[in-house]
Each structure stands twice: as structure tokens, then as C-alpha cells.
Amino acid sequence: MSFGSLVFLLRFLPVSILLYYICPSKLRNALLVLMSLVFYAWGDTAGLAVLLAVSAVGYLTALWIRSTSGKGKKWALTLGLIAVLGCLAFFKYTDLILQTLADLGAPLSPLGIAVPAGISFFSFSVAGYLIDVYRDPSVFCSSVIDYLLFVSFFPKLLMGPITRISDIRDSIKSRKVTTEDLEHGTVLFVTGLAKKVILADSIAELWSSVREIGFDGSSCLLCWLAVISFGFQLYYDFSGYSDMASGIARFFGFSLPDNFRTPYSSVSATEFWRRWHITMGGWFREYVYFPLGGSRCGKLRNILNLLSVWLLTGLWHGASWNFLLWGFFYFIILVLEKHLYLGFLESHRFIGHLYLIFITLIGWSLFSVTSIPEIPVLFSRLFGGSGGASAMYFLRNHAVTLVLCALLCTDQAVSVWNRLMKHRGLRSAAVLILMALCLAYITGSTYHPFLYAQF
């Protein structure tokens, strides 16, 4: 079930809120767990068994970790992580490995394994929880219901933000919803919905059109426009989802961590990755980079640590070798920035911003094309390709959307919006207008699933 579907907007969400507020306080966590499982099963009934199995392994392993010490504790953590992350690897990467071996001549073929919805997100939540319990047994959730709510809370279940138990533990135990929560939650939700259905879905048509034409049949400028549109689509799609998730969580008294802070206003890739998909970056930093030694070791070891993190980050996004290339690309860029020119970019912000836009577009070019043979075709068109379909037709059709996307992702636009939202009258008018526009877009256009869900 998508946040942008009429079923969710007009049925599931209103019914969930109504039931929550008429339910006795002691039963509200159980109700949210039930609604979360219904939400998940609505879109992926088969995957529900995987969600429950991973959750059960996490709970039992955390119980084992809490009740033992010494080597037994380490064994419990190790086996639990192998089980949880092994499940993720099996569903997500088995077919990639089999297909790669088949391409190399092995008598194998993909099994056609269906990847459970949101497995990358709820697996990381459970794995992080096990490590946190290992480090501090006091964070263990003795209540199965409370633990399941942490893992399966439906606003964050399918696409994050990736939460740690410390992020919502207090709210799970005790919370209250204020008028401010409801107002702020409504603004977040409607803003996120507008990002998705008005901006992301509209600009997606440009990228889809070029994919239908083919890169080899598109001009240089059209290929650049396509990559720009993909970057905007991905940002407004995923940041829109994150806003909606945070807004829905506020309706039930929870505050989810920020996942985006205007990343396209950055002046370096280093800054960009502090602002884009913040909870994923925080997860890899806390549970991979720091345990490997982080930057507290020699230069060569630190470079190897960064390589490990970025190759894993690339693979986390999908079962395709282009994501590994994308991760390696950012590893190279971040190492170069750290050791050569990050200071220059930060002190020359205009140049740094132009540099960041260029680097990001190159990165999205690698990220967007899952077929490895197509990547050199795209780059050959981006850098010197001549002929092919002209960009002018697409510019005329999408110029307004492109300009809006470029303006609204800046620090300045967000600052102006936040100031406007402090005025109750303007806030109410903006929410009503945006919601009406969103419903019009949803009912009048073809359904577009959230782009980031596939990663």
C-alpha cells in the first residue's frame, strides 16, 4: 500500500487514526502493530512471513545477548547478525550471483526470488538493534509488542527512515499527541505528498521518455536533461516519502529522525552525504565505519574502511553491479575530497556548488542504469554525443517543472516555506490547496509507485 494511493489516503490512514484515538491507552501499541502488519500484508502478503521471521530472530537473539556474557554474548550477536543479514542477502542477491555465474558460463539460472518489500530497511533496523543491545543491555525491549512496534511501525516500515531503538524507545513506552504534533504532522504529510505526486511524478515523465527513446537515439543535451530529471525525481520521491512518514508518525505521538536536509545545496560530496538519506549514512557510520576503526587509524587503513563502507552502501541499494560502481565512484570522490581539495570547495562555495551538481549528476548516471552495457552508451552521449532526438520538445513540455524542482530544493526555499508555516492562516490555506492539488493529480494520472522502494 502506497502513501500516495487513494486507498491509503481515504481509508487506511483515517481508519487507523480513528481507531487509535478511541482505543484505550494500554492497547494502543498493540493496535499500531496490528495496523502495521495489515499495511504490510496489503502490498506483500508473502513477505509478511519474512518480516515476522526476521523480527522473531531479532527478539530471541537480543534475549540471548541480554542473558549471557563473555564469549557467549559475542556468539549470540554474531549468529544473530548472520541470520538477519543472511536473510537480506539471500532474498536480494541470490539471483544476481546466479545470473553473473550464468553469464560466465556456469550451468545456472536465476531462481526468480521475490524480494520482500522493505527488507533492506527492517533488516537494518533489527541488525542495529542487536548491536545496540550488545553494547547496552538496558535498551532491550522486554515487551514483544513494544519490540514489534519498533520494527514494523508502518510509517517507516517500507522505506525508512532507518531508526535505532534510541530514536523512539521513549515514545514507545509513553507518549502524548499535542495540537502542535497534529498541525506539524499535517504540514509534513501534505508537503511530502505534494513532493511526490506533483513534482516527482511529473518530472519522471522526462526520464521515462528518454528511456523509451534509448540513450543512443538521444542528443547530448537530452541525455543531460534526462539525468537531471532522474536526480530531481529521486530526491522529491524519497524526501517526499520521508516527510510523509514523519508526518504520519506525529499523528501517533512519534518523532522520526530527519532523513534529508536540502542536499542539493551542498558544496561537496562530503557535505551532500551528511544531508542525503541521513539515517542510512548514520547506520553505516555507526555499525560499519566506526567498528572498522573509522578515521582513528592510519591513512591506508582509513581508505580501506571507506572502501568497505561505500561498496556495502552501493550493494545495499540493489542487486545490480551498477550500484557497486556507483559506490566505488563515491569512494574515490570522497577520498580525493578528504585528502586534496575539500577545504578549497568549502571556502569557494559557488565553485563548490557547481562541482557538487556535476559530481552528483555523474553519480546518478551510474545509479539510474542497471544494465552495465548501457552505461558507456549513456556516457558517450553525455560527453560529446551528436545527433539523436532533440531536447527542445522536452524542454518546452517540462521547463516549468524543471524550474520548480530546481528552486524548491534549495536552502532558501525551505527557509521561506518554514517562515510561512509559522502563520496559522497561511499554513491552513497552503495545506488545503496542496491537498486538493494532490488529490487532483492522483485521480487524474497513472499511478507511480515510490521510486526508492525498488532499492
Q: Residues 389-407: pLDDT tens digits?
A: 888 999 999 999 999 999 9
On the question of pLDDT at 385 being above 80, the answer is no
DSSP reduced 3-state for 218: strand
The pTM (predicted TM-score) of the whole model is: 0.95
Instruction: Identify whether 317 is a catalytic site residue.
Output: yes
pLDDT at 387: 81
Given 184, 277, 317, 398, the catalytic residue:
317
* Per-residue pLDDT tens over the stretch 168-194: 999 999 999 999 999 999 999 999 999
- Of 188, 185, 172, give the one whose Cα is nearest residue 250: 185
| Domain limits, the chain | 6-175, 181-454
pLDDT > 90: percent of the chain: 89
* Per-residue pLDDT tens over the stretch 414-445: 999 999 999 999 999 999 999 999 999 998 77
What mean pLDDT do residues 377-387 have? 88
On the question of pLDDT at 446 being above 70, the answer is no
| pLDDT interval class at 455 (50, 70, 90) | low
pLDDT at 246: 97
Q: Which residue has the cell 494502543?
A: 28
On the question of pLDDT at 298 being above 90, the answer is no
| pLDDT interval class at 384 (50, 70, 90) | confident
Cell of 175: 507518549
Is the bond leading into 373 cis (omega within 30 degrees of zero)?
Answer: no
Q: CA 41, 235, 120, 246 torsion: positive or negative?
A: negative
pLDDT at 302: 93
Rounded CA-CA distance 353/330 in Å is 17
More confident: 108 or 145: 145
Q: Which residues contact 262 (CB under 8 A, 6 or more apart)?
A: 275, 409, 410, 411, 414
pLDDT > 70: percent of the chain: 99
The chain-wide mean pLDDT, for the chain, equals 94
Q: Which residue has the cell 516519502?
A: 241
DSSP β-bridge partners for residue 389: 218
pLDDT at 361: 97
- Contact at 8 Å (CB) between 193 and 233? no
* Per-residue pLDDT tens over the stretch 301-344: 999 999 999 999 999 998 899 999 999 999 999 999 999 999 99
Rounded CA-CA distance 20/97 in Å is 45
DSSP reduced 3-state for 219: coil
418: exposed, middle or buried (Cβ count in 10 Å: 0-12, 13-18, 19+) = exposed
Please count the residues of the chain: 455
How large is the C-alpha radius of gyration of the chain? 23
pLDDT at 308: 96
On the question of pLDDT at 290 being above 90, the answer is yes
For 242-308, the DSSP string reads HHHHHHHHHHTT--PPP--S-GGG-SSHHHHHHHSSHHHHHHHIIIIIHHHTTTSS-HHHHHHHHHH
